[in-house]
């Protein structure tokens, strides 16, 4: 990999002509943002010097000691970039595993709902069959009906006395 110097800056990840790392290179190597590097410099966690270039004053870092940077991590945050990467990978693995489990459970729920629907249909069919069987049993056990006395049935009134159905009284 060749290094091209432009206004004292390193290109392709090598040190600049003055022997230090730029803020951008330090951020890329430490896998943090440039703003984080500037904050660490301001706090004194990273040693940097000011260099005047054609573009203006810039910081140069002589060493990129990850331990220095990791000691200033906020409470509750991982202290090392490698630990951060491991935790991120573990979180991604867990998220993927949970997504797979959720998808499997969704499929199982859909299958069970389909099965419930089919069983409800069968239940309705068997309930209708049971009701039909009960009616058949009642019909078989019913006593023979008594002969109907035709004299006991009242004769219908003559057609002239019949009233329309809407005139009950």
Residues 65 and 95 in one domain: no
Strand 48-53 versus strand 56-61 pairing type: antiparallel
Instruction: Give me the pLDDT at residue 150, please.
Output: 59
Residues 3 and 62 in one domain: yes
What's the pLDDT score for residue 155?
64
What do you get for the CA distance between the two ends of the chain, in Å? Answer: 114
Give pTM, 2 decimals.
0.34
Domain limit, last residue, from 19, 50, 72:
72
CA 33 distance to own-chain centroid: 29
The per-residue pLDDT for range 63-114, each reduced to its tens digit, is 776 444 444 445 555 456 777 888 888 889 999 999 999 999 999 999 999 9
Same domain, 58 and 96: no
Question: Would you say residue 51 lies in a domain?
Answer: yes
- Together in a domain, 67 and 85: no
Q: Which residue's structure tokens are 């991604």?
A: 92
Highest mean pLDDT among 11-15, 17-21, 25-29: 25-29
- Residues 45 and 60 both lie in one domain: yes
pLDDT at 14 > cutoff 50: no
Percentage of the chain beyond pLDDT 70 is: 64
- Give me the domain span that covers residue 123: 77-140
Q: Indicate the residue among 14, 40, 72 that finishes a domain.
A: 72
- Residues 5 and 66 grouped into a single domain: yes
Please indicate, yes or no, whether residues 63 and 47 belong to a single structural domain of this protein: yes
Q: Are residues 108 and 61 in the same domain?
A: no
What CA–CA distance (Å, rounded) separates 82 from 95?
Answer: 20
Do residue 114 and residue 128 come from a single domain? Answer: yes
Q: Are residues 46 and 92 in the same domain?
A: no
Listed residues 72, 103, 125: the one ending a domain: 72
Q: Other C-beta atoms within 10 Å of 45: how many?
A: 16
Residue 146 forms part of a structural domain: no
Are the CB atoms for 50 and 57 separated by under 8 Å? Answer: yes
Residue 155 falls within a domain, yes or no? no
Q: What is the pLDDT of residues 36-71, one digit of tens each?
A: 888 888 888 888 888 888 888 888 888 776 444 444
Residue 58 placed within a domain: yes
Angle between helix 23-30 and 34-43 (nearest 10): 110
Please list, in sequence order, all residues whose beta carbon lies within 8 angstroms of the beta carbon of residue 86, skipping any fewer than 6 positions away: none
Residue 169 belongs to some domain of the structure: no
């Amino acid at each position: 990999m060749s290094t091209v110097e432009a206004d004292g800056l390193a290109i392709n990840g090598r040190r600049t002509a003055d022997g230090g790392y730029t803020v951008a290179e330090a951020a890329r190597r430490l896998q943090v943002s440039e703003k984080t590097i500037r904050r660490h410099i301001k706090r004194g966690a990273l040693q940097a010097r000011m260099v005047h270039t054609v573009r203006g004053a810039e910081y140069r870092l002589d060493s990129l000691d990850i331990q220095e940077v990791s000691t200033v991590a906020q409470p509750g945050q991982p202290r090392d970039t490698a630990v951060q990467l491991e935790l991120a990978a573990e979180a991604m693995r867990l998220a993927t595993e949970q997504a797979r489990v959720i998808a499997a459970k969704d499929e199982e729920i859909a299958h069970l709902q389909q099965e419930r629907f089919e069983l409800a249909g069968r239940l309705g069919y068997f309930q209708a069959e049971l009701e039909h069987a009960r009616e058949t049993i009642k019909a078989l056990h019913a006593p023979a009906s008594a002969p109907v006395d035709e004299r006991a049935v009242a004769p219908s009134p003559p057609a002239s006395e019949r009233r329309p159905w809407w005139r009950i009284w």
